[in-house]
């Protein structure tokens, strides 16, 4: 099976998983206060299912880019200092068709994971815009987009997702990315 077919099959499975998770979350809410204890687990599964589906669709748009999604990997689940469960949510992609290049994500990121790039005619990526420089790429600059060019440095804090006004970022839980 080709990579594309494998990805299509994966997206179908993730769609089914997301639909089931959504129904379970709905049922869980309807049942309240019965089984209130199960709500966090059902909500977490719903989050994970949609995050995985979003990531797979993003891969479909961009090509796999070396990212391999896997089943749960307990070795990538961590705890906070007081013992609460913590799974980093890594930034893996930014949709260049919806990003407006506002720079908010860059400003809140402490890890130098993404950078502003210039885009020319035909969505051609012209190159990285160096800090404090207003490079117009010899008049070819049409717009700016944020590009994830240092993904391996991400610690999955989620700060960038909270400030993005266009919801154009894809994050994947750490325990779903192969080492």
Residues at the site binding ligand SF4, with contacts judged by CB under 6 A = 91, 94, 99-105, 108-109, 111, 113, 146, 154-160, 163-166, 168-169
CA 144 to chain centroid, in Å, comes to 20
User: Closest approach of Cβ 23 to ligand SF4, in Å?
Assistant: 30
Of 106 and 137, CB closest to ligand SF4: 106
Interatomic CA distance for residues 61 and 42, integer angstroms: 29
User: Closest approach of Cβ 139 to ligand SF4, in Å?
Assistant: 23
Cβ atoms of 91 and 149 within 8 Å: the answer is: no
Of 21 and 164, CB closest to ligand SF4: 164
Counting Cβ atoms within 10 Å, is residue 46 exposed (0-12), middle (13-18) or buried (19+)?
A: buried
User: Closest approach of Cβ 173 to ligand SF4, in Å?
Assistant: 12
Paired tokens of 85: 């469960």
Of 14 and 168, CB closest to ligand SF4: 168
For the chain, give the number of residues.
Answer: 179
Of 37 and 167, CB closest to ligand SF4: 167
Beta strands in the chain (DSSP E): 78-79, 85-86, 89-94, 114-119, 125-128, 143-148, 169-173
User: Closest approach of Cβ 125 to ligand SF4, in Å?
Assistant: 14
Of 21 and 90, CB closest to ligand SF4: 90
Cβ atoms of 149 and 61 within 8 Å: the answer is: no
User: Closest approach of Cβ 35 to ligand SF4, in Å?
Assistant: 33
């Amino acid at each position: 099976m080709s990579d594309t077919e494998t990805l299509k099959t994966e997206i179908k499975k993730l769609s089914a998983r997301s639909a089931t998770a959504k129904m379970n979350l709905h049922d869980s809410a309807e049942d309240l206060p019965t089984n209130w204890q199960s709500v966090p687990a059902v909500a977490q599964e719903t989050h994970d299912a949609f995050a995985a589906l979003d990531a797979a669709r993003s891969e479909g748009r961009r090509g796999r880019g070396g990212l391999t999604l896997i089943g749960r990997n307990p070795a990538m689940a961590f705890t906070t200092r007081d013992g609460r469960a913590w799974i980093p949510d890594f930034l893996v992609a930014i949709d260049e068709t919806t990003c407006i290049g506002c720079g908010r994500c860059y400003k809140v990121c402490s890890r130098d994971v993404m950078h502003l790039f210039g885009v020319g005619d035909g969505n051609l990526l012209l190159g990285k815009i160096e800090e404090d420089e207003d490079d117009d790429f010899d008049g070819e600059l049409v717009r700016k987009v944020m590009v994830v060019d240092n993904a391996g440095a991400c610690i999955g804090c989620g700060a960038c997702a909270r400030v993005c006004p266009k919801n154009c970022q894809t994050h994947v839980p750490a325990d779903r990315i192969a080492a």
